Structure formats: structure tokens, C-alpha cells
Chains A and B, each alone.
Chain A
Amino acid sequence: MTAESMPPPMLEVTALSVTFRSREGDIEALRDVSFTIASGESVGVVGESGSGKSLTSAAIMGLLPANAIVSGSVRLLGQELLGAKESTLRDLRGRRMAVIAQDALTALNPVHTVGAQIAEAIKVHDGTLSKAQLRSRAIELLDLVGIPQPASRVDNYPHEFSGGMRQRALIAMCVANEPDLVIADEPTTALDVTVQAQVLDVLERIQDRTDSSLMLITHDLGVVAGVADRVVVMYSGSLVEDGDVDSVFYDTAHPYTRGLLASLPRLDARDRSEPLYRIPGFQPPPVQRPHGCPFHPRCDIAIAGVCDVETPTVHVIGPSHQATCHAIARQDGGS
């Protein structure tokens, strides 16, 4: 297949940067982030708080605050989203791409029934359905996400649902129009593990059914290992590693990803007497980001005179694996 006849990927993010204007000067919160999500693919975006993962989703959805300056390109099935008209974006949101928020309690409106809110989400994009049709579609969706007795639960208010049920109702609302791309931003962080397992199961079933793409933003590497086909690792506003899930977990390239994996306590640990690996220092806020590679002050393989001077570029390790690291590039005999 030649490059020209290839269908465009579901999502193509190229050189995405986000800068905030502030009184203290410009703050570059996201720097030169590029990645793609193929049709039907699940991509986990991981990183610690402040790494820019939620900002990436806000930029994709066109939901950045007014003082943000965006550059680069975000294409959904080939269509450029950056700089697109608000009316175009509004039409795409919900219908082609949708976000599942972390906190279902604040994302749902407390004064409307769950069913009414799902119906509203459908009506915005398809005004032809009758009231009865909307209601039966809402019941169908609640059933799809595993809400028991959906026909009576449809008339409940959000406060009558448990935390896990609210999150599932939110998923139902999000997938009501069968979007091509679902962005789930820490969808299970507020939930207990047994409830998290239920919700992740629902997400996977829905993805199988609708063949949509999933961008799963999380700090939990365990969730990513179970759900994602590919992993994008972010640190201090930059993308540091990107690869298929096995490459990133078993042939980990970037020293930050390695540190992150080594610092995790494991449920299946064999030797607990060993102390956990600790990455020295901490992630700098964007205004104090060091020159060169943002990770170099904490890095155990940093090359003096290189990593603290030049910003690293993407180094290709394998067909579907790359890292933004000078030291790895040198080890591979690259430039």
C-alpha cells in the first residue's frame, strides 16, 4: 500500500505545543508533542501530574482556555481541528470524538434524570428522533454499560446512582452517538478497584462493538498494561517514549519510563525486601524547566554537555517504538 492510498489515521497529532500567556511571562505547558492513533486502536497516555496529558486531550477537543496559544496540527480522520470554526468543533464533539471525564459526579447535571441527559446528548446531533425513541435508546445504552434494570433506572437522578454506576452512565452518554474517538481522562481514578474492573470491562466491550479508537489518559501503568495496544509516555510537557505496549514495558528505552516502572510496588512481587527504585529529584514546573532534555537533572545516563544543552529529538528504536533521548540515540549508534 503506498502512502497516498493509506487511509488517514483516526487521530494525528503533529508538533502540538501549548503556551499560556501569564503575567510572569509565557509558560510552555506542552512542547512539540506528536503521536497518532489508528482506527480501532487503544492508546494509553501515561505520566505524572503536571506532565501535560490532560492538556493534550483539551487541545485535541478544542477546549483550551482563552489565554492558551496553540501551534502544530491535530487531525481527526484527516480533518484539521486546530483553528477550525467553533461550530465545526461543536458538531464533531460528541458525534466523532467524545471525552469521558474523571469525576462523574460533577460531569452529570444533578437536576436532570440520567435518562434525560443521555437523550439530550443524542438530540444535539440527531433531532429527528421522537421522545419515545430517545427514551428507548437511552435505556438501550444504560443496558449496554451494564446498569441493572435500565428501564426503571433511566428515570433516576445522578445522586441515586453509586459512583461506579455514575461513571458507567457517563460512558453511556459519551458513546450515545457512537463516536470514532473516545478520550477517557482518568476514567477510573476515583473508583475502587472492583468497580474499576467493571468500568474498564465496559469500555473494552464498547470499543469492540463500535470499533472506535480509545485514548486512555491515566497515571496507572497497570491499567495501561491491561487495556492499551500502544503507550505514550509524557514528562514535563514533552512526549518521551511512544511504542507498542510490549516494547514499552519489556524493552523500555527512555530512562524516565524505566524509573517509573522500577518505582512501582508490584502485586506479584517476588522480593519485597528490596527497596523501591526512586527517581531522584522531582518533575519541575514548566517555568523552571531546565535547558536541553527536561529529564536530564534526574537522569542516570545523562551526557554532560549534550543533554543539558540540546533538546532531544525523536529517535526511532523499532518499527513501532521511539524515544526522545540523546543517550539512547547514541547507544544505538545514531547521531
Chain B
Amino acid sequence: MMAVLEVRDLVKEYPVRSGVLRRVTGSVKAVNGVSFTLERGRTLGLVGETGCGKSTVGRCLVNLITPTSGSVLLEGRDVAGLSPADLRTARRQIQLVFQDPYASLDPRQTVEAIVGEPLQLHGLARGQERQRTAQLLDLVGLSASLLDQYPHELSGGQRQRVGIARALALEPEVIVLDEPVSALDVSVQAGVLNLLEELQQHLNLAYVFIAHDLSVVRHVSHEVAVMYLGRIVEHVDADRLYTSPRHPYTKALLSAVPVPDPRVERSRQRILLEGDLPSPLDLPQGCAFRSRCWKQTDACSTVPRLVDDAGHAVACYHPEPA
């Protein structure tokens, strides 16, 4: 089966300017050679801490940011090489849902205008926009009575559902979800996560689920890629990642996640990482995690490649045993 989404060696570089003349004095690689494939009906969780580049990857996927190099293939077609007309169609196949439902919806537009806008822009459902919009609301568990309301009249959970309905309007195959539930309270979050799962089953959608909350990612993902300072350091199915992480960073990250179970918490050994995340302007030579890693040796002074070992890819010279 052909992957619905394939990302090859994605790089996004930002210039660094300094001095009075703001001359370009260097560059920062926010994303540094990210590759993965995703099949229909599957969810890839993209996790990592602030500054690891996960959101930049998400934005490159939907063309909000133009990558410096590398390619994004939708059903085998490279999005970069398309004519403007083909690009328009290609964009319909991949949609983005933003983190903050308070900031991502236009406060002056009604729910109908927000959800119906993509239909209009693409000239779809002409003359039946309102009906189609109501259907979309129904799909995300909202009543059609909300059509004429404004975002401020909705709760956080309702707003995020509106954001999802809007993303679904063009019947995409892939949805990039950038921290879709992190602004929501837990009892509301559960409803949105369940909805996303139902939609995936009904519509055979592929999700790229970007989040920092590893418990949420575990719940929704089939496979997980862990990023650290612009690179994927580990990529494997969700169960193996959580039961037998191989990269030291993944291990430390998982050990730091609090579990809502006092007995488990009392018996857990936490790996406390030394120091802080290095500045992207001044990365350690070789493996970026070197400066905080308890296993680092001289070998780590060259960048480790992401090597696949029986479906469990890890970029480390001293991985934990499989």
C-alpha cells in the first residue's frame, strides 16, 4: 500500500542575524533531516519538548512554512513540484488543526462562515454550503443550532470541535493536529480525543498528532517519533516505545511523566536530566543529546544515524537493549 504521506529528509533553516546591520551571521536548523511515512487510518505521534522542531515539521507539512530542503509527498506526489492548480488540490488532502481554539478562530465570523470558508475557497458544495456545514457540525458532535453563533459564545471544547469541522470540510486524507487538546481541561479533552478516534475510524483519516503530553500521545498514536533539537531520535510503534524505549532521551522523558497513581509514583525511579536544553545556536558537536546524556562516549562526537532495527528505529551509539 502506498503511504498517504511521505516526508523525506525535511530541513528547515532559519538565518541568524546579528550586529547593527542585521547581517546574516549563521543559521539555526529548526528541523534537521526528518523522514517518515504514514499510512491511511494511522496516527503518528510526534513528541518532544519545547524547541525540538515538532511544530515546524507540522507547518512544513501543510505548506505554512516552506522547507529549506527535503520533500513532502502526498500519495507519492511531491507537493513542491506542483503547478499552482495542482497545489490547490494537493492542499485539500492535508489540513491543520491548531492548538489554541481561542486564537485560531476569527472572532468576527460565525461558526457557519468559519466552517464553510474552505468550501467557498475551493468552490465546493455550491448553493448547499449551509447544509454541508450543518453536516460537518453534526460529524463533530455539535448541534446545527450553533451555525449562527460566534466563537466567544462557545466553550473551549466546542471551539476545538469547530476547528476540527473546518479541517474536515475539504475531506482531507491527512490531518496535522498541533497540540489539539493542550488548551483544554481534562474532562473536555477526553471528549475531543474520543471524537478524533471516531472520525479516524469512519473516514480512514491519517493523523500527525503533535503534542508534548506523552500520556495523550500514547492514547491516540499507533506509532510515535520522538524529536530532540530538530531530529527524530527514536521512531517505533507506540507500545514498544512506552514499554521498552531505547534512546536515553526517550527513557528520561518517559520517566519524567507523572502518572496519576500514587503507588506507581512512589515506586518509580525518575531519571533527572542534568542541565538545560542546549541553545540551538550552540549545539554540542555530534549527538545533540550528548551534553546531558549519562551514556555518552567519544563515539558520540559524530551525529548518530537513525537506524532501523526490526521496526524500532533509534539514533544512538549506546541504545538500551531491545
Q: Which residues of A contact B (CB under 8 A)?
A: 48-49, 148, 162-165, 192-198, 201, 219-226, 245-246, 249-250, 259-261, 263-269, 272, 275-279, 282-283
Contact, CB under 8 Å: A267 / B254 = yes
Instruction: Give the A-B contact count at a CB cut-off of 8 A.
Output: 131
Most buried by A among B157, B193, B259, B263: B259
Contact, CB under 8 Å: B262 / A267 = no
Q: How far is the CB of B8 from chain A (nearest CB, A)?
A: 29
Contact, CB under 8 Å: B187 / A260 = yes
Contact, CB under 8 Å: B215 / A267 = yes
A165 to B277, CA, bound (A): 11
Q: How far is the CB of A61 from chain B (nearest CB, A)?
A: 25
A-B contact pairs, 18 of them (CB 8 A): A164-B276, A193-B212, A194-B252, A194-B253, A196-B256, A196-B258, A197-B255, A219-B186, A221-B186, A222-B265, A225-B258, A249-B261, A265-B218, A267-B218, A269-B215, A272-B238, A275-B197, A279-B187
Contact, CB under 8 Å: B214 / A225 = no
With A164-B276, A193-B212, A272-B219 known as contacts, the answer to whether A263 contacts B187 (CB < 8 A) is: yes
Q: Which listed residue (A193, A219, A249, A265) contacts B185, Cβ 8 A? A: A219
Contact, CB under 8 Å: A266 / B215 = yes
User: Could you say which residues of chain A place their CB within 8 Å of the CB of B197?
Assistant: 275
Query: What residue of chain A has the Cβ atom nearest to residue B188's Cβ?
Result: A282
Q: How far is the CB of B52 from chain A (nearest CB, A)?
A: 9
Most buried by B among A148, A225, A279: A225
Most buried by B among A260, A282, A283: A282
A192 to B51, CA, bound (A): 10
Within 8 A of A (CB), among B207-247: 212, 214-216, 218-220, 238, 242
B299 at the interface (CB under 8 A from A): no
Q: Which listed residue (B155, B214, B272) contacts A267, Cβ 8 A? A: B214
Q: How far is the CB of A159 from chain B (nearest CB, A)?
A: 13
B87 at the interface (CB under 8 A from A): no
B189 at the interface (CB under 8 A from A): yes
Q: How far is the CB of A258 from chain B (nearest CB, A)?
A: 11
Query: What residue of chain A has the Cβ atom nearest to residue B292's Cβ?
Result: A194
User: Could you say which residues of chain B place their CB within 8 Å of the CB of A269?
Assistant: 215, 218-219
Q: Which listed residue (A148, A198, A222, A266) contacts B272, Cβ 8 A? A: A198
Contact, CB under 8 Å: B186 / A263 = yes
Q: How far is the CB of B162 from chain A (nearest CB, A)?
A: 15
Q: Which residues of B contact A (CB under 8 A)?
A: 49-50, 155, 157, 185-191, 193-194, 197, 212, 214-216, 218-220, 238, 242, 252-265, 268, 270, 272-273, 275-277
User: Could you say which residues of chain B place their CB within 8 Å of the CB of A162?
Assistant: 276-277
User: Could you say which residues of chain A place their CB within 8 Å of the CB of B219?
Assistant: 265-266, 269, 272, 276
With A263-B187, A265-B193, A267-B254 known as contacts, the answer to whether A282 contacts B155 (CB < 8 A) is: yes
Q: Which listed residue (B258, B268, B272, B273) contacts A220, Cβ 8 A? A: B258
Contact, CB under 8 Å: A266 / B259 = yes
Contact, CB under 8 Å: B270 / A264 = no
Query: What residue of chain B has the Cβ atom nearest to residue A164's Cβ?
Result: B276
A162 to B218, CA, bound (A): 28
With A260-B187, A261-B260, A266-B260 known as contacts, the answer to whether A193 contacts B272 (CB < 8 A) is: no
Query: What residue of chain A has the Cβ atom nearest to residue B258's Cβ?
Result: A222
Contact, CB under 8 Å: B260 / A221 = yes
Contact, CB under 8 Å: A272 / B218 = yes
With A48-B185, A265-B218, A275-B194 known as contacts, the answer to whether A246 contacts B262 (CB < 8 A) is: yes
Query: What residue of chain B has the Cβ atom nearest to residue A279's Cβ?
Result: B187
Q: How far is the CB of A224 from chain B (nearest CB, A)?
A: 8
A148 to B276, CA, bound (A): 10
User: Could you say which residues of chain B place their CB within 8 Å of the CB of A224?
Assistant: 260
Query: What residue of chain A has the Cβ atom nearest to residue B194's Cβ?
Result: A275
Q: Which listed residue (B194, B252, B270) contacts A201, Cβ 8 A? A: B270
Q: How far is the CB of A239 from chain B (nearest CB, A)?
A: 18
In the A-B complex, the 9 residue pairs with the smallest Cβ-Cβ separation, listed nearest first, are A222-B258, A265-B219, A263-B190, A192-B49, A197-B256, A226-B265, A48-B185, A276-B190, A221-B260
Q: How far is the CB of A36 from chain B (nearest CB, A)?
A: 20
- A194-B49, A263-B187 known, 18 other contacts, Cβ within 8 Å: A193-B253, A194-B252, A194-B253, A195-B276, A221-B260, A223-B258, A225-B261, A226-B258, A260-B187, A263-B186, A264-B186, A264-B215, A265-B215, A265-B216, A265-B218, A267-B242, A282-B155, A283-B187
Contact, CB under 8 Å: B186 / A197 = no
Contact, CB under 8 Å: A225 / B187 = no
User: Could you say which residues of chain B place their CB within 8 Å of the CB of A249?
Assistant: 260-262
A282 to B190, CA, bound (A): 12
Query: What residue of chain B has the Cβ atom nearest to residue A48's Cβ?
Result: B185
Most buried by A among B189, B190, B214, B255: B190
User: Could you say which residues of chain A place their CB within 8 Å of the CB of B190?
Assistant: 263-265, 276-279
A269 to B216, CA, bound (A): 11
A283 to B188, CA, bound (A): 10
Contact, CB under 8 Å: B193 / A48 = no
With A265-B193, A267-B254, A278-B190 known as contacts, the answer to whether A225 contacts B216 (CB < 8 A) is: no
With A162-B276, A193-B49, A267-B242 known as contacts, the answer to whether A49 contacts B185 (CB < 8 A) is: yes
Contact, CB under 8 Å: A222 / B218 = no
Most buried by A among B185, B238, B256: B185
Query: What residue of chain B has the Cβ atom nearest to residue A196's Cβ?
Result: B256
A160 to B27, CA, bound (A): 21
User: Could you say which residues of chain A place their CB within 8 Å of the CB of B220?
Assistant: 265
